[in-house]
Amino acid sequence: MEENLSLKEKEKAEEAMIEQAFQELLNDYLHTKHRKRVEIITKAFNFANQAHKGIKRRSGEPYIMHPIAVAKIVCNEIGLGSTSICSALLHDVVEDTDYTVEDIENIFGPKIAQIVDGLTKISGGIFGDKASAQAENFKKLLLTMSDDIRVILIKIADRLHNMRTLGSMLPSKQYKIAGETLYIYAPLANRLGLNRIKTELENLSFKYEHPEEYHEIEQKLVATSAERDKVFQEFTAPIRAQLDKMGLKYRILARVKSIYSIWNKMQTKHVPFEEIYDILAVRIIFTPRNMEEELNDCFDIYVAISKIYKPHPDRLRDWVSHPKSNGYQALHVTLMGNNGQWIEVQIRSERMDDVAEQGFAAHWKYKEGGGSEDEGELEKWLKTIKEILDDPQPDAIDFLDNIKLGLFASEIFVFTPKGELKTLPQNATALDFAFSLHTDIGCHCIGAKVNHKLVPLSYKLKSGDQVEILTSKSQRVQPEWLNFATTSRAKIASILRKEDKAKQKEGETILAAFLQAEGIRMDESALDKLTNLHNFHTPDELLSAIGAKRVTLGDADRNVFKEKQNKSWKKLLSFSFGGGKDSKDNKDQIPIEGKPAEKINPKEILKLTEETISKDYIMADCCHPIPGDDVLGYIDEHNRVIIHKRQCPVAVKLKSSYGNRIIATQWDTHKELSFLVTIYINGIDTIGLLNEVTQVISRQLNVNIRKLSIESNDGIFEGRIKLYVHDVDDVRTICNNLKQIQNIKQVTRVED
Sign of the CA dihedral with 620 first, then 539, 533, and 398 last:
negative
Least-confidence region, from 145-149, 246-250, 451-455: 145-149
Catalytic residue among 9, 15, 24, 95: 95
C-alpha dist (Å) from residue 554 to 551, 557, 613: 9, 6, 34
Residue type, 356: A
DSSP states along 327-369 = ----EEEEEE-TTS-EEEEEEEEHHHHHHHHHGGGGGGSS-TT
Question: Mind listing the pLDDT tens digit for each residue in 35-75?
Answer: 788 999 999 999 999 999 888 888 888 999 999 999 999 99
* Residue in 252, 225, 254, 256 with CA at minimum distance from that of residue 239: 252
* Residue in 694, 671, 675, 681 with CA at minimum distance from that of residue 735: 681
Question: Mind listing the pLDDT tens digit for each residue in 691-709?
Answer: 888 888 877 677 778 888 8
Residues in CB range of 564: below 8 A, 6 or more apart: none
- Side-chain-facing half-sphere of 388: CA atoms under 13 Å: 30
Please classify residue 7 by burial: count the beta carbons closer than 10 Å to its beta carbon, then call 0-12 exposed, 13-18 middle and 19+ buried.
exposed
Residue type, 531: T
Q: What percentage of the chain exceeds 90 in pLDDT? A: 26
Give the model's pLDDT for residue 594: 37
First to last CA, the chain: 69
Q: What percentage of the chain exceeds 70 in pLDDT? A: 81
Q: Would you tell me how many other CB atoms lie within 10 Å of the CB of residue 592? A: 17
Question: How far apart are alpha carbons 168 and 155 in whole angstroms?
Answer: 20
C-alpha dist (Å) from residue 204 to 58, 115, 214, 582, 664: 19, 27, 9, 21, 19
Calculate mean pLDDT across residues 17-28.
92
Question: How far apart are alpha carbons 609 and 592 in whole angstroms?
Answer: 9
Residue 646 in this model has a pLDDT that exceeds 60: yes
Residue 142 in this model has a pLDDT that exceeds 70: no
Question: How far apart are alpha carbons 141 and 386 in whole angstroms?
Answer: 12
Largest CA distance in the chain: 93
Calculate mean pLDDT across residues 335-361.
85
Which band of pLDDT confidence, cut at 50, 70 and 90, is reported for residue 571? low
Give the model's pLDDT for residue 587: 36
Give the model's pLDDT for residue 399: 60
Which band of pLDDT confidence, cut at 50, 70 and 90, is reported for residue 421? confident
Told to judge if 96 belongs to the known catalytic residues of this protein, a careful annotator would answer yes
Angle separating helix axes 649-657 and 396-408, nearest 10 degrees: 110
* Residue in 563, 531, 560, 559 with CA at minimum distance from that of residue 546: 531
Give the model's pLDDT for residue 681: 92
Question: Which of 97-111, 406-420, 545-559, 610-624 is modeled with the greatest confidence?
Answer: 97-111
* Residue in 456, 424, 546, 444 with CA at minimum distance from that of residue 492: 444
Question: How far apart are alpha carbons 459 and 438 in whole angstroms?
Answer: 19
* Cβ atoms of residues 630 and 647 within 8 Å: yes
Give the model's pLDDT for residue 638: 75
Give the model's pLDDT for residue 367: 43
Q: Does residue 109 come out as left (phi exceeding 0), alpha (psi in the -120 to 50 range) or beta?
A: left
Which band of pLDDT confidence, cut at 50, 70 and 90, is reported for residue 597? very low
DSSP letter, residue 264:
H
Catalytic residue among 14, 28, 61, 96: 96
CA angle (580 as vertex; 579, 585 as ends), nearest 5? 55
Structural element, H or E, at residue 198: helix 195-209
Told to judge if 95 belongs to the known catalytic residues of this protein, a careful annotator would answer yes
Calculate mean pLDDT across residues 13-25.
91
Least-confidence region, from 171-185, 213-227, 610-624, 625-639: 610-624
Report which of residues 550 and 389 the model is more confident about: 550
Q: Does residue 376 come out as left (phi exceeding 0), alpha (psi in the -120 to 50 range) or beta?
A: left
* Cβ atoms of residues 684 and 713 within 8 Å: no
Residue type, 508: E
